[in-house]
């Protein structure tokens, strides 16, 4: 993309160094989340003695609610004060998390750790998304989001796998959480010392159209009124509702069926590994084929993965179900972010992304509550089957309401 003399250059090639650095930073953000994926549900049951599923999943409720609120604030703060200070603040908030998980004397301390983790993720992950969209410009937005989310969820998968093997050999605490201490140190150092501000790129892309509407208008447009934005928002809620179920219920289901912690860790890693690596393809594919078809098809493939896990037993079928769940999520996740970037004006894009990510991450809390209540009332597999039906319905809503947003 051509630029005026002295203006920030847009595009992946022109910003390759900073873009690559932000990819690495987001891998560390994802690793912070991955340290919990295998171990924490087992910690709830085996160390703290939480028998009810609803109680065991309270850590996901706390994470989702705080992350949702933080996302909403992060977008507005980034538009007003810049991206880099918000990113650094996210890493500062993350510092106590691994130590709280290591030393927690009661479950309440684990919930506090996850509230801080939700705040950290809402600030740091939001900024890696916004900053990459700022740098990439309009023509490679899907590819940029694919690379960002692939890094985050690829690292999440590797960390979930690693912590599963560490926990099987060394125990559920403290060794699995040593990885988190390393991640937060590296992430804070890179963000504070080497990441540069990208707000100027967004202002340059906006050109003369820089009037920023009121926050209430942005919230209503993104949540309810604008067809593509609101369709993406409801699909995002469904997607993270699914992630909450995979995070909270799958390890408990697999453990009750007799799998070892190492095998549970492997299954916990398949879903985000396919999700992460698949986005390297699907993000760029949405730039060529469009957004709507990938989103609807991805939600339906997710529903199929849930249905298979609910209907079968054993490592093999569950591995296939996890693979389907990861493939469907890879189709949906970066594409939804690209839709927001397509429709929202650059002058208020970070705020719109904040609203979208707020609703999407509220799906963690909604999913944990729904899944916990259903599992307590009907059993684990029935709860997973009902979630499959809800996910299929979300795909139908995308087909009916969303229009194609890919720039031509």
**How many domains does the chain fold into?**
1
Instruction: Please give the average per-residue pLDDT across 128-148, as a whole number.
Output: 82
364 CB-near residues (< 8 Å, 6+ apart): 60, 61, 63, 64, 65, 67, 68, 240, 241, 243, 244
User: Looking at the domain assignment, is residue 205 inside a domain?
Assistant: no
Q: Left if phi > 0, otherwise alpha if psi is -120 to 50, otherwise beta: which for 6?
A: left
Q: For residue 166, give Cα distances in angstroms to 246, 252, 259.
A: 21, 18, 16
User: Looking at the domain assignment, is residue 104 inside a domain?
Assistant: yes
349 CB-near residues (< 8 Å, 6+ apart): 130, 133, 202, 340, 341
Confidence (pLDDT) at 2? 45
Sign for the pseudo-dihedral over CA of 338, 344, 349, 351: negative
pLDDT, averaged across the chain: 90
**pTM: predicted TM-score of the whole model, two decimal places:** 0.84
**Where is 331: in which H helix or E strand?**
helix 315-343
Over residues 374-406, the pLDDT tens digits come to 999 999 999 999 999 999 999 999 999 999 998
User: Looking at the domain assignment, is residue 408 inside a domain?
Assistant: no
CATH code of 100's domain: 1.20.1250.20
Over residues 194-244, the pLDDT tens digits come to 999 998 887 777 665 556 688 899 999 999 999 999 999 999 999 999 999
The residue behind tokens 């139908």 is: 396
> Token digits for 396?
């139908």
Over residues 288-344, the pLDDT tens digits come to 889 999 999 999 999 999 999 999 999 999 999 999 999 999 999 889 988 998 999
Over residues 363-373, the pLDDT tens digits come to 999 999 999 99
> Token digits for 74?
């992060």
Q: Please say whether the beta carbons of 152 and 276 come within 8 A.
A: yes
DSSP for 52-67, written as a single string: SHHHHTHHHHHHHHHH
Q: For residue 226, give Cα distances in angstroms to 114, 231, 266, 398.
A: 33, 8, 41, 13
Confidence (pLDDT) at 275? 86
Q: Please say whether the beta carbons of 164 and 269 come within 8 A.
A: yes
User: Looking at the domain assignment, is residue 188 inside a domain?
Assistant: yes
Report which of 167, 153, 373 is spatially closest to residue 272, judged by C-alpha positions: 153
Distance from C-alpha of 250 to C-alpha of 268, rounded to nearest angstrom:
8
Residue 57 has pLDDT above 60, yes or no: yes
User: Looking at the domain assignment, is residue 8 inside a domain?
Assistant: no
By residue range, what is the domain housing residue 110?
16-198+211-401
Q: At what angle do helices 261-289 and 292-311 cross, to 10 degrees?
A: 160
Report which of 80, 94, 87 is spatially closest to residue 36, judged by C-alpha positions: 94
Q: Please say whether the beta carbons of 120 and 90 come within 8 A.
A: yes
User: Looking at the domain assignment, is residue 69 inside a domain?
Assistant: yes
User: Looking at the domain assignment, is residue 10 inside a domain?
Assistant: no
Confidence (pLDDT) at 341? 86
User: Looking at the domain assignment, is residue 359 inside a domain?
Assistant: yes
Confidence (pLDDT) at 391? 97
């Amino acid at each position: 993309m051509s630029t005026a003399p002295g203006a920030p250059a847009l595009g992946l090639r022109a910003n390759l160094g900073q873009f690559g650095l932000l990819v690495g930073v987001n891998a560390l953000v994802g690793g912070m989340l991955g340290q919990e994926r295998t171990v924490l549900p087992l910690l709830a049951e085996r160390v703290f003695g939480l028998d009810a599923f609803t109680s065991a999943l309270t850590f996901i409720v706390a994470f989702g609610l705080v992350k949702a609120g933080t996302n909403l604030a992060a977008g507005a703060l980034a538009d007003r004060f810049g991206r880099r200070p918000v990113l650094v603040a996210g890493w500062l908030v993350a510092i106590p998390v691994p130590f709280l998980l290591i030393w927690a004397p009661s479950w309440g301390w684990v919930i506090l750790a996850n509230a801080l983790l939700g705040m950290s993720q809402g600030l740091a992950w939001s900024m890696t998304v916004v900053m990459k969209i700022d740098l990439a410009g309009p023509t490679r937005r899907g590819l940029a989001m694919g690379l960002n989310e692939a890094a985050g969820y690829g690292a999440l998968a590797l960390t979930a796998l690693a912590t599963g093997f560490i926990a099987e050999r060394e125990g559920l605490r403290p060794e699995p959480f040593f990885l988190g201490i390393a991640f937060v140190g590296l992430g804070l150092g890179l963000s504070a010392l080497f990441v540069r501000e990208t707000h100027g790129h967004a202002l340059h892309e906006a050109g003369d159209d820089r009037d920023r509407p009121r926050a209430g208008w942005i919230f209503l447009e993104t949540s309810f009124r604008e067809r593509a934005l609101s369709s993406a928002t409801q699909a995002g809620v469904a997607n993270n509702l699914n992630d909450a179920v995979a995070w909270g219920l799958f390890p408990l289901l697999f453990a009750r069926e007799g799998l070892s912690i190492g095998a549970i860790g492997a299954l916990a890693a398949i879903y985000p590994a396919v999700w992460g690596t698949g986005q390297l393809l699907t993000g760029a594919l949405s730039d060529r084929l469009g957004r709507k078809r990938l989103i609807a098809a991805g939600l339906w493939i997710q529903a199929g993965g849930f249905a298979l896990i609910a209907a079968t037993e054993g490592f093999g079928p569950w591995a296939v179900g996890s693979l389907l769940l990861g493939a469907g999520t890879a189709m949906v996740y970066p594409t939804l972010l690209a839709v927001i970037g397509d429709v929202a004006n650059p002058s208020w894009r970070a705020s719109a992304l904040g609203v979208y990510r707020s609703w999407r991450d509220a799906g963690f809390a909604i999913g944990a509550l729904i899944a916990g209540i259903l599992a307590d009332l009907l059993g684990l597999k029935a709860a997973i089957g009902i979630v499959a039906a809800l996910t299929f319905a979300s795909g139908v809503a995308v087909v009916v309401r969303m229009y194609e947003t890919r720039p031509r």
